[in-house]
Amino acid sequence: MLTPNRLVVLLLLGAPGFPAAAAERLLYSVGHEEGRGPGFTRTEIFALDPATGRRELVFTDAGLPVVLLPDRPSGIRSWVMGAAGNAVLARAAERRAFPGGWAESPAGIYELSTDGTNRARKVTDVLGEHPLRLLVCDPAGRRVAYLNENAGAPTLFVHDIASGRLLGRLSLAKVFLDCFARTLGWTADGARLFFALETGDVHVTSRASYARIGSYFMNEDGTRLERVPAAQVAPRQLHDHRSNPEMPGELLGELAGGRRLFLEYQWRARGDGRAENFLYAVDARGGNRRYHARSGTGSLYGLRLSPSRRLIAYTTENSARTEEQVWLLDLDTGKETALFALPYRPIKPPHLSLVGWLDR
165-193 pLDDT, tens digit each: 999 999 999 999 989 999 999 999 999 99
Alpha helices in 150-258 (DSSP H): 173-176, 207-210, 230-233
Neighbours of 341 (CB within 10 A): 21
Q: Is the pTM of this model over 0.85?
A: yes
Measured CA distances, 253 to 45, 49, 81, 185, 334 (Å) = 24, 22, 17, 7, 17
According to the model, what pLDDT value does residue 111 have?
97
Task: Tell me the pLDDT tens digit for each residue of 199-227.
Answer: 876 666 788 888 899 999 999 999 999 99
Q: How confident is the model at residue 101 (pLDDT cuts 50, 70, 90)?
A: low
Residue 347 banded pLDDT, cuts 50, 70, 90: low
- Asked if residue 148 lies in contact with residue 175, where contact means CB atoms within 8 angstroms, the answer is no
Average pLDDT in the 101-124 region?
A: 89
**What is d(CA 227, CA 244) in angstroms, rounded to the nearest whole number?**
19
Question: Does pLDDT of 273 surpass 50?
Answer: yes
Higher pLDDT, 64 or 4: 64
All domains of the chain, ordered by start, with CATH? 25-358 (2.120.10.30)
Percentage of the chain modeled with pLDDT above 90: 52
What sections of the chain are H helices per DSSP? Answer: 173-176, 207-210, 230-233
124/128 Cα distance (integer angstroms): 12
Q: What's residue 72's pLDDT?
A: 63
Q: Rounded to whole angstroms, what are the CA distances from 356 to 127, 138, 147, 257?
A: 23, 12, 18, 22
Residue 47: other Cβ atoms inside 10 A: 21
pLDDT at position 55? 93
Task: Read off the pLDDT of each residue in 220-248 and give the average, rounded to a whole number.
Answer: 89
Choose the most confident range, by mean pLDDT, from 63-77, 188-202, 214-228, 336-350: 214-228
**What is the reported pLDDT for 238?**
84
